[in-house]
Amino acid sequence: MKNFTYPDMFVTDMSGGLSNARPRSLDSVARGKRVYTDDEKQFQKHLGQRIKALRIEAGFVQDDFADRSSLDRSSVSPMEQGRYDVRLSTLLRVADTLNIRVDELLRQVLDEQQTD
């Protein structure tokens, strides 16, 4: 069977960690890895940047933010760097800690993404 590659995509394992390993192929999907498009990757990046900006604006350091959001401290930095696939449950906790509605946060991210 031929191995097809997709250069405009990257893969993440089921734990949410992103990988830039090549080649990116249909075999990755068969091994339980999620394949993301460039648009999805850019959205993750913008979401992380927006969360970081709001966190700093609210006066939280990463450790305090993690504690208040009930997140693992080691997940905050990758999330802010766009390397973490943020689940809805995590997004709800993050938005609550930042005192913003999830739809407002997502709208800000989409607006920023369109201006790039």
1 within domain boundaries: no
Residues 45, 18 share a domain:
no
pTM for the model = 0.71
- Tens of pLDDT, residues 48-91: 999 999 999 999 999 999 999 999 999 999 999 999 889 999 99
Domain membership of residue 2 (yes or no) is: no
Tell me: do 25 and 59 sit in the same domain: no
Q: How distant is the alpha carbon of residue 79 from its chain centre?
A: 5
Same domain, 101 and 65: yes
Q: Pick the more confident residue, 116 or 60.
A: 60
Measured CA to CA, the distance from residue 88 to residue 109 in angstroms comes to: 15
The answer to whether position 56 is within a domain reads: yes
**Structurally, how many domains does the chain consist of?**
2
Domain range enclosing 105: 39-115
Helix, strand, coil distribution of the chain in percent, nearest 5: 55, 10, 30
